Structure 1
């Protein structure tokens, strides 16, 4: 069989047995992974991957109908499915693909678009449609489409790229993770959309593979330098959206004695950076319009509190009478805060 998608050509002689159960089908594909070869001049694009994934899902559905794949073995089906998909993609680690699948779900909540994910899944469940296909459609059309995520974000080989001009934002984030803060997004014990294979060892191996031997997050030193839970600073405002998963890594209680207020902006789609960017954050609204938040007043209230704190702190600044530059900055800063 030959399948051609633009820059990708996949050829394989693999054919599942005409009479087989699920375990035999899975073992058959794993046994013949070496028969799958690729000729590609460069990394193939997102659309190609998802056309291939959709073919796989259709093929999987046909197998379930013809060979009575047991529903009581979802973990076996997932294991085989991930193995097969990984063999047909450029991911060298199955867990990189699992990480992508989990991130795609989290991002809807993080950036203020929960209904984009939940509505089609609930509708598919209500209609007794294939939930995996519904999720794949969401990932293709929203996560890789409208949101603009890239497969390269999850490709450890790409993260190694240090050449000038490379889009290195993902590498910079992982360097901070791997040297300072950890923030490993491991699977919780119960009710997790993340695979249990996304564990601390996976993250440590990624750090070593991308940045080299001996690279790991020195969290103790980071906490000593910045003060840990006793932050070495004052006059800092902490704001978080109620639906943002990252708010749990932030300071969610105020410390009046150090002038460090904390506010949670509460609404159905208040995500990452709602205080500045409004709702939702994808596509990015540079004006920070709160009109699309389910509770615009909640956003405006927090913004007003921010203005009042900064205005007060600026008013407490003291400048020498002959410090023209300082006085100019003082007046300009106050007008900027008042205007926003």
Structure 2
């Protein structure tokens, strides 16, 4: 049979096993056997290097995940029971159990204080797993400034004990995950099969003219990944540039014409004179109407200097509308008046 071993004496394994179907347990057994064979452990355990290579996480985040999955034994051996127990908690536990697991995962130092240095290490591991690190002409990692915008969304209200660094309270961490759904999706899917459809790993393919240089490109891949965290999987496959002020000019009629030709949702991105980057996701095509329309799927976002997602509160239905006036043209979207420099069709 698939599991010919004697019954486990660990009540956690017994409880976790009940969360899986027989087929799911057989699939986990097959995965364990395969990884244990690669670990050259005579089928007894999975090594840290094989574990991290298979699930696609390394660095401090990969080390921390292995520690949690192996119940912090520090023996470098992941057993089949460990795998079932950890996945039972991490993927099939209650909302509070899953949140606690993810919060413990982000405490990469393992000192009980979830501080900014922990989040920085987490974000570096995420960036390495999703994007190919690039070196700029000055020899610096080009992602450093991008990671800063995700760190800027965090708050630390818990006073550190025995350390100068303050930490995140449970409320702080929940708020950070709410503002950064792409990060939350990534952290919640690390023990899933490492295929292209794993939540939090998708980056939209950005289609734009070749003459749009990097200094004019407002929507970086990291920003698109951030926005995509609040969207469904099919909406993060390919985004086509409809309008850019540096390419299409500053005619508002051209702007309206370009975005009105779209037949699906759009993302509007603005970079203002101070360098702030922000915008919104419009779930419905743009159309001249006499009243507001749209639905609660729409949201606003920040990209720089802080990355955040802001969903509608439901206080009213003033979600999406654009119209004209003899003396001005304007867009009203999700409660904001916006002039967009760049629009992408999803």
TM-score, with structure 2 as normaliser: 0.31
TM-score, with structure 1 as normaliser: 0.31
User: Which of structures 1 and 2 has the bigger CA Rg?
Assistant: 1
Structure whose residues are more often helix by fraction:
1
